[in-house]
């Protein structure tokens, strides 16, 4: 069982072909045991959440704007959307519930 998380990085930052091949490989290796999540947030909400992290000093708004792609969903993985209405506790509970109640 594996959990795959889609963060602010996007397919073009790694090369679209490499990202597609990676996603296909993950799907081939783990089939239905892949749990992919996409934080479907505005840039402003993403930045706000980033600023609460202990590592927020490692990169900032300028770098994030260069990386940002709105609605950058995977073409291969069936990602579960996480929206701004969800806080960290409910996200963790939803993920655990999905994995352990399968």
Rg of the chain over Cα atoms, rounded to whole angstroms, equals 14
pLDDT truncated to tens, each residue of the chain (102 aa)?
444 444 544 545 546 777 778 888 888 888 777 888 999 999 999 999 999 999 999 999 999 999 898 898 888 888 899 999 999 899 999 999 988 886
Distance set, CA 34 to CA 15, 58, 67, 93, 96 (Å): 22, 29, 25, 17, 13
């Amino acid at each position: 069982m594996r959990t795959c998380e889609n963060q602010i990085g996007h397919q073009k930052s790694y090369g679209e072909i490499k990202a597609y091949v990676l996603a296909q490989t993950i799907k081939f290796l783990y089939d239905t045991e892949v749990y992919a999540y996409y934080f479907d947030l505005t840039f402003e909400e993403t930045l706000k959440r980033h600023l609460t992290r202990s590592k927020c000093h490692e990169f900032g708004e300028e770098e994030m704007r260069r990386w940002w792609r709105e609605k950058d969903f995977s073409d291969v993985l069936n990602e579960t959307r996480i929206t701004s209405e969800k806080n960290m506790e409910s996200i963790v509970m939803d993920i655990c519930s999905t994995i352990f109640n399968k």
